[in-house]
């Protein structure tokens, strides 16, 4: 049986922390779907289609394995996407206790809804402070985001400042 997993998130924009988790997850599963989902609790910087393009470029540029697919989902529950593609596992990166508190209820609800399990990965400590919200803030105020995001994202945001 093929082991299929989904790494969901806002990816607004994708950071080096995300890329690290994606690379680790790709090594653990036969097929990995990186799924861009709108989070109504966050004000968006980039349109969903742009986030998908930047993820695809960043994954290619980093030479990550070819078992990774990037997609977006706006048709309902995250677990509906999992059922559609035959994924039984969600993968999330955990940087701190704050992430544990945020992710735990979602993991339990997703398991109750569709028996989809959540696996938490510990990212490289070098990325423990990196978040998309921090990147959005630094970019909006004209700061240097190159230490936190893939090259393609830094180039894109420099060309099209937000």
Contacts to ligand PNS by CB under 6 A:
8-10, 37, 39, 42, 77-78, 106, 109-110
Does 151 qualify as catalytic in the annotation? Answer: no
- How is the chain split among helix, strand and coil, in percent rounded to 5? 45, 20, 35
For ligand PNS, the closer of residues 1 and 101 by Cβ is 101
Residue 10 labeled ligand binder:
yes
Does 95 qualify as catalytic in the annotation? Answer: yes
**What span, in angstroms and rounded, lies between the C-alpha atoms of 121 and 20?**
10
Sign, Cα dihedral of 16, 153, 41, 87 = negative
For ligand PNS, the closer of residues 112 and 158 by Cβ is 112
Does 3 qualify as catalytic in the annotation? Answer: no
Residue 86 labeled ligand binder:
no
**What span, in angstroms and rounded, lies between the C-alpha atoms of 54 and 68?**
14
Question: In the complex, what is the shortest distance from the CB of residue 141 to ligand PNS, in angstroms, rounded to a whole number?
Answer: 21
Does 42 qualify as catalytic in the annotation? Answer: yes
Strands (E), the chain: 4-9, 31-37, 68-73, 89-93, 117-121
Instruction: Give catalytic residue positions.
Output: 18, 42, 95, 132
Binding residues: 10-11, 18, 42, 78, 92-95, 103, 127-133
């Amino acid at each position: 049986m093929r082991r299929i997993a989904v790494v969901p998130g806002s990816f607004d924009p994708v950071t080096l922390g995300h890329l690290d988790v994606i690379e680790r997850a790709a090594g653990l599963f036969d097929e990995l779907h990186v799924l861009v989902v709108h989070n109504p609790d966050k004000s968006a910087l980039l349109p969903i289609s742009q986030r998908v393009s930047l993820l695809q470029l960043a994954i290619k540029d980093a030479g990550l394995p070819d078992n990774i697919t990037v997609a977006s989902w706006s048709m309902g529950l995250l677990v509906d996407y999992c059922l559609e593609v035959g994924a039984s596992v969600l993968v999330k990166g955990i940087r701190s206790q704050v992430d544990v508190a945020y992710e735990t209820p979602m993991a339990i609800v997703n398991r109750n809804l569709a028996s989809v399990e959540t696996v938490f990965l510990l990212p490289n400590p070098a990325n423990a402070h990196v978040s998309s919200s921090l990147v959005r803030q630094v970019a909006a105020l004209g700061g240097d985001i190159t230490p936190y995001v893939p090259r393609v994202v830094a180039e894109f945001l420099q060309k099209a400042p937000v």
